[in-house]
Amino acid sequence: MGAFFSPDLPRNWEVTLKEEIRKKILAKREVYPNWEEDSLKVLKNLLTLSWLYDYNVFMLYYPHRKEVDTKPIINHLLNISKIVLLPKVKGPDILPIQIHDLENLYIGYGGIKEPRGDVYEGKIDVVIVPAVAFDMHGYRLGYGKGYYDRFLPKIEPVIKVGLAFDFQILDKIPHDLHDVKMDYIITPTQIYKTKKEDQK
Ligand code: ADP
Ligand code: MG
């Protein structure tokens, strides 16, 4: 009872806590020296998930700052003739747009590269999600705007895969009802499967 009603905790203590974690992890990621080689290890681990090849439509993110570099993954998927989508931010929404290469991208919201073109209306099979941090249960801490929390429920059912460096995995992340859980989290050294065993 004590902690819950403590006058020391602000009413929105979960938000404050999320903000503290964001600051710490982002500062660490900014100076992380191994991001290039570790990104390739994430790619290697991702590609051990053989069921990936059963699917055709993949939504990824374009790497911003020191996020796990998805460019090699995007190129690999394009090379094996998968449909690849990238997000375009429009107002409060993420829109999925098909790309055919990494050339024709434009600086969009937050300085992040994004495609132009028609919104992809077909079914999305797998979505690769960036984050500031994840916990082992699949909860995700994003950048604080809730973009993926609003977007992911609209494209369900979809397999949600988070990519992160190992220092971005925390024991527990504060979460609200609106926070969407990942099914897999891939790091340079781990593959966390957070879904029930009988599901892919
Ligand atoms: P992030 O997921 O980017 O770390 P939060 O989960 O803290 O950020 O969400 C940021 C804001 O977005 C919150 O104030 C929340 O109210 C809003 N939000 C998140 N998901 C939804 C949703 N499904 N519908 C409406 N607002 C949402
Ligand atoms: Mg959230």
pLDDT digits (tens, 9 = 90+) for 77-102: 999 999 999 999 999 999 999 999 99
Mean pLDDT of the 4-17 span: 69
Q: State the chain's mean pLDDT as an integer.
A: 93
Cα 175 to averaged position of ligand 2 atoms, centre (Å): 7
Question: Would you say the CB of residue 143 lies under 6 angstroms from ligand 1?
Answer: yes
Q: Is residue 38 situated within a structural domain?
A: yes
Identify the band that residue 5 occupies on the pLDDT scale cut at 50, 70 and 90: low
pLDDT digits (tens, 9 = 90+) for 43-54: 999 999 999 999
Q: Is residue 90 situated within a structural domain?
A: yes
ω into residue 157 within 30 of 0, thus cis? yes
Q: So what's the pLDDT on residue 2?
A: 42
Q: Is residue 198 situated within a structural domain?
A: no
pLDDT digits (tens, 9 = 90+) for 58-70: 999 999 999 999 9
Q: Is residue 97 situated within a structural domain?
A: yes
pLDDT digits (tens, 9 = 90+) for 135-147: 999 999 999 999 9
Range of the domain at 79: 11-193
Count: domains in the chain: 1
CATH number for the domain harbouring residue 189:
3.40.50.10420
DSSP string, 78-108: HHTT-EEEEEEEETTEEEEEEESSSSS-EE-
Q: Is residue 139 situated within a structural domain?
A: yes
Candidate from 149, 179, 180 with most ligand 1 atoms within 8 A of CB, to mutate: 149
Q: Is residue 135 situated within a structural domain?
A: yes
Q: Is residue 162 situated within a structural domain?
A: yes
Q: Is residue 51 situated within a structural domain?
A: yes
